[in-house]
Amino acid sequence: MAVCQVKLPPCAYAGEGSIEKIKDIVVKEDAKSILVFTDKGIRSTGLLNLVTDELDAIGANYTVFDNLKPEPAYTDVEAVLAEVDKVDGDFVIAIGGGSVMDAAKLTTVLKNAPYNIRDLLNDPTIARKYIKSVMIPTTCGTGAEATCNAIVAIPEEQSKKGIVNDSMIPDYVILDSRTIRRLPKPIVAATGVDALAHVVECYTSKKATPLSDTYALAGAKLIFGNIRRAYENPDDMDAKNKMMLGAYYGGVAITASGTTAVHALSYPLGGKYHIAHGVSNAILFAHVMEYNKEACETQLAELCDAINPAYFEKSTAEKAQYVIDEIADIVKVTNIPTDLDQFGVKMEDLDFLVDAGSKQTRLLVNNRRELSLDDIRAIYLKVLK
């Protein structure tokens, strides 16, 4: 076996009530001035209180930043960082979805730094960690709590880009299912399918390793087995706990192996048309995997063995197709739109999509089957009217 590596947060807590560990973390880190990142939606639901009540209980000094936009552009993150720079800060806590956690992770490498976010877009290798952090996801999930990635929109390119540096791996993670107890069904669907894409793409990635496969496979079992339950029954906390854990495993797998063409081709949809990240992935997911099938049939069959042992005697081709059909069915039963017309994307936008999607080389190089411009065009045509 070739040398391989997996990187993950040094400390993770999981289970209902685990958010109470914040007090211990703050004391251990001797945090004097805490920067709390969230958004107005999280604040309005009262979920922010799960954090602030713990901080108040120990008399911690903190400042809340809740004005980050969903699916932010790098300029939006710059605006938040300008506010952050007005206060002292020696520790970061983020409670929210992927956008909140990505902004918080960027803060850990930008607060007091001699470079800015534009510099990181040009050369992410210059980043270094200045402040430690704890991530508390409120979806099931983006996996951002485990990754070294921060995704931002680039308005001038009408697309998205990932800033990737190991320094952004969080120091602590808290997976407390109370944060998703009342998560709206459309968000359960979109973030759950996003997490599913992470584990499937990572397992079928050219950069997959035995270590990344361990996490991707474990995540796949949890997500395939629980996403329908978590969506259909909001009170099924066992399913939601398992979805959070599966999403975390997917995030760890991303850091080790990376996603592929599903994410690559979804970025222009988020960047120009502001389609939610999980939804754009869901629209493309089954189509991309169908295209990839001939190059990763074995890996898809292995996923089938993990999620449905009853198919053990089936052929490799049948197992691979089962996984793709399961993906399509999950998107269907969770009522995620399956074409771009509902989002105002027209046939005349096809050339832009092909060009912008083909430029996502950071992820396309992970895809086991190479995509030509015609191949990319054919995939987009499947979801355009």
- Structure confidence by residue, pLDDT tens digits, 190-199: 999 999 999 9
**What is the reported pLDDT for 5?**
87
**What is the reported pLDDT for 70?**
84
Is pLDDT at 133 greater than 90 in this prediction?
yes
Backbone angles phi, psi at 384, to 5 degrees: -115, 145
Cβ atoms within 10 A of the Cβ of 325, count?
12
3-class SS of residue 240: helix
- CA-to-CA distance for 63 and 216, rounded, in angstroms? 36
* Token duo for residue 294: 């001939």
Query: Mean pLDDT across the chain, nearest whole number?
Result: 96
Q: Which residues does residue 62 pair with via DSSP β-bridges, in sequence order?
A: 34
Residue tagged 């999930």 (tokens): 141
Torsion, CA 371, CA 374, CA 379, CA 380, rounded to 10: 120
300-347 confidence digits (pLDDT tens): 999 999 999 999 999 999 999 999 999 999 999 999 999 898 999 999
Is pLDDT at 68 greater than 90 in this prediction?
no
On the CB side of 69, CA atoms within 13 Å amount to 13
- CA-to-CA distance for 248 and 380, rounded, in angstroms? 29
Q: Of the ranges 41-55, 147-161, 254-268, which one carries the lowest mean pLDDT score?
A: 147-161
- CA-to-CA distance for 38 and 120, rounded, in angstroms? 23
CA diameter of the chain: 63
CB 239 within 8 A of CB 222: no
Express as a percent the part of the chain with pLDDT over 90.
92
